Amino acid sequence: MDNKKILTEIIQVRDGQKKWKTDVVIREISLTISINMKKLVTISCLDDKIDNLALGFIFSEGLIQSTDQILAFEYFPENNWFDFTLDIEQKVIDSFLNTGEKTSGCGSVLSNNSNLKENEWNKIEIDSTKISQISRQFQKDSKLFLETGGVHAAALIRSNKILFFAEDLGRHNAVDKIIGEALLEEIDLSKTILFTSGRISSEITRKIIRAKIPMIVSHSAPTSETIRLGWKYHIFIIGFTRGNRFNLYTGFNDIIIK
């Protein structure tokens, strides 16, 4: 077993018959993210790509606008504690703490409402067959989910290829991981598409608005608030990618579908 999974004994019941079985389950840890050694948030997550997760979180929640604002960072694995020294004003931290919302989004615990900026619609062209192909590859790459059924996944797409892929306890964490990885690799997020598993919630949508990612794609549905945010902030929302079909919820006049 790696550090993301453990084995546990269970009783499986089928047709009323009990059977002992060894099962694979997700190993959950609690990661604390702090600024100048002052606790900001604690996140339930996998022990995997911790640096990407921490960086993606402070960026997608609007605490920093670029990696230039990171003066130093240190990870203390014995305590699962990640500390940043940031070049930001205290009012930015206070705004986050005052406006962050408790969410139901398995893993992440806050979603900051501040620092959202409207963008112009950028006309976009997509190939529906490529969306279907990427969707199938996304499912194949979700190996931890296929083995345990206990995680969500996210991927960053550019030129119809998966650049980065991550799995975690919650969709929010998986999204933060790939955003963090993209920042470290200096990828222009405005030229990418986000694939995510599960429903497209408003917390996820706020993160990609800040990251300037123009499109979200999911196998599942968006919420009404996500659709409202999509129209307001000019984000293309695609849901229910199943086989050779999908639903487009926003930006009808600014997208060309082949």
Identical fold for domains 29-111 and 124-257, yes or no, is no
Q: How far apart (Å, rounded) are the C-alpha atoms in residues 221 and 124?
A: 21
Q: How far apart (Å, rounded) are the C-alpha atoms in residues 152 and 154?
A: 7
What's the CATH fold of domain 124-257? Cytidine Deaminase; domain 2 (3.40.140)
Mean pLDDT over residues 155-159, rounded?
A: 94
pLDDT tier, 107 (very low <50, low <70, confident <90, very high otherwise): very low
- Cβ neighbors of 27 (< 8 A, separation 6 or more) are 3, 4, 5, 6, 46, 47
Q: How far apart (Å, rounded) are the C-alpha atoms in residues 196 and 135?
A: 10
pTM, whole model, 2 decimals?
0.86
Mean pLDDT score across all residues of the chain? 87
The first and second tokens of residue 145, run together, are 């989910």
Q: How far apart (Å, rounded) are the C-alpha atoms in residues 79 and 249?
A: 43
Q: Read off the pLDDT of residues 113-152 as tens digits, 9 standing for 90 and up.
A: 555 666 667 788 888 888 889 988 998 888 888 888 888 9
The first and second tokens of residue 142, run together, are 């979700």
Q: Read off the pLDDT of residues 186-225 as tens digits, 9 standing for 90 and up.
A: 999 999 999 998 889 888 999 999 999 999 999 888 999 9
The residues annotated with a catalytic role in the active site are: 106
What pLDDT does residue 59 have? 95
Residue with tokens 């986050």: 96
Q: How far apart (Å, rounded) are the C-alpha atoms in residues 50 and 61?
A: 16
Asked whether the predicted pLDDT for residue 45 surpasses 50, the reply is yes
Distances (CA, A) of 58 to 111, 189, 219, 236: 11, 16, 27, 24
For the chain, percent of residues with pLDDT exceeding 90: 50
Domain borders along the chain are 29-111, 124-257
Sheet holding 29-35, edge to edge: 38-45, 29-35, 81-86, 70-76
What's the CATH fold of domain 29-111? Ubiquitin-like (UB roll) (3.10.20)
What pLDDT does residue 96 have? 84
- Cβ neighbors of 108 (< 8 A, separation 6 or more) are 43, 57, 170, 172, 173, 176, 203
Closest CA to 31 of 22, 39, 23: 39
Closest CA to 256 of 123, 136, 147: 123
What pLDDT does residue 217 have? 94
Q: How far apart (Å, rounded) are the C-alpha atoms in residues 194 and 216?
A: 5
Asked whether the predicted pLDDT for residue 110 surpasses 70, the reply is no
What pLDDT does residue 155 have? 96
